[in-house]
Amino acid sequence: MKVKVAILGCSGRMGRNLIQAAHEHESIELVGGSVRASSSFVDFDLGELAGIGAIGLTTSTQLSQLTDADVYIDFTAIETTLENIDWCQQHKKALVIGTTGFSDAQVAVIEKAGAVMPVVLAPNTSVGVNLMFKLLQVTAKAIGDYTDIEIFEAHHRFKKDAPSGTAVKMGQVIADTLGRDLSKCAVYGREGITGERDRETIGFATVRAGDIVGEHTAFFADLGERIEITHKASSRMTFALGAMRAAFWLSDAENGFYDMQDVLGLKD
């Protein structure tokens, strides 16, 4: 049986890719998508939005018009996602969250929602990126204690948060593996007379330019050699397909707070 999915924020850059990925997925049935009440895409055909031709489903402005879905996929903005979590909690619906930029306190709210509904929080739904997290764990364990660790990320000019959710997660994975507290050891950008590098720090550097879909590199640098672990996304469809994988997996999951490592079976 197909899993019924609704896309929240379906007129966005990701939303349009999610419509196409859901519509073309053999195990998923797209049942609808939401836009803001003030959007110029109210009552718009979802297929037209995605550029794949009319599919006979029109946009909704309320989640209460989308109650048919088994799983909701949300790539919107922080405040909207928090409202959508409330609604999913009340209606005991599964939710895949792709929105990024949550504070620790907001993540705690999402984690708590996992007590009454299945929820995946995935700042990056790409399968390759999540495999990269695993490689970071292995590398940090082997050489992280004596190398300088720096994280670089680049995204398109429209991205609103920095560093990216994925870059922060990379730092978190490495810090957790090394028993460091990321809130104490992270350095976000450098300027002026910074002094010599403190080995315990994890540096972050951000580029925002043009139409870069998403690039991330972790450097583990010693004197004489360095390891670079890089992921480059060339199309948003990679995130959309990963989100479908998460939705399919979540449709059969118990209530709980999950991430893509759970979805992909990469947890130890």
Ligand X SMILES: NC(=O)c1ccc[n+]([C@@H]2O[C@H](COP(=O)([O-])OP(=O)(O)OC[C@H]3O[C@@H](n4cnc5c(N)ncnc54)[C@H](OP(=O)(O)O)[C@@H]3O)[C@@H](O)[C@H]2O)c1
- Return the range that interacts with ligand X (CB under 6 A); candidates 99-107, 138-146, 184-192, 201-209: 99-107
Q: Which value, in Å, is the radius of gyration of the alpha carbons in the chain?
A: 19
Closest-by-Cβ residue to ligand X is: 12
Q: Which is nearer to ligand X, 27 or 62 (CB)?
A: 62
Q: Considering the rule CB under 6 A, would residue 13 count as an interface residue with ligand X?
A: yes
Q: Considering the rule CB under 6 A, would residue 34 count as an interface residue with ligand X?
A: yes
Q: Considering the rule CB under 6 A, would residue 60 count as an interface residue with ligand X?
A: no
Q: Considering the rule CB under 6 A, would residue 33 count as an interface residue with ligand X?
A: no
**Within 13 Å and on the Cβ side, how many CA atoms surround 164?**
27
Read off the tokens for 173: 């994975």
User: Quick check: is 159 catalytic?
Assistant: yes
H-helix segments, 4-126: 13-24, 46-50, 78-91, 104-113
Cα torsion through 186, 129, 120, 115, rounded to 10? -50
Q: Which is nearer to ligand X, 20 or 76 (CB)?
A: 76
Q: Considering the rule CB under 6 A, would residue 12 count as an interface residue with ligand X?
A: yes
Q: Does residue 239 contact residue 164 with C-beta atoms inside 8 Å?
A: no
* Among 32, 47, 123, 171, interactor with ligand X by CB under 6 A: 123
Residue 160: helix, strand or coil by DSSP?
A: coil
Task: For the chain, give the number of residues.
Answer: 268
User: Quick check: is 91 catalytic?
Assistant: no
Q: Which is nearer to ligand X, 32 or 114 (CB)?
A: 32
Q: Considering the rule CB under 6 A, would residue 124 count as an interface residue with ligand X?
A: yes
The residue type of 215 is: E
Contact residues toward ligand X (CB under 6 A) are: 9, 11-15, 34-36, 39, 75-77, 80, 98-101, 122-125, 239
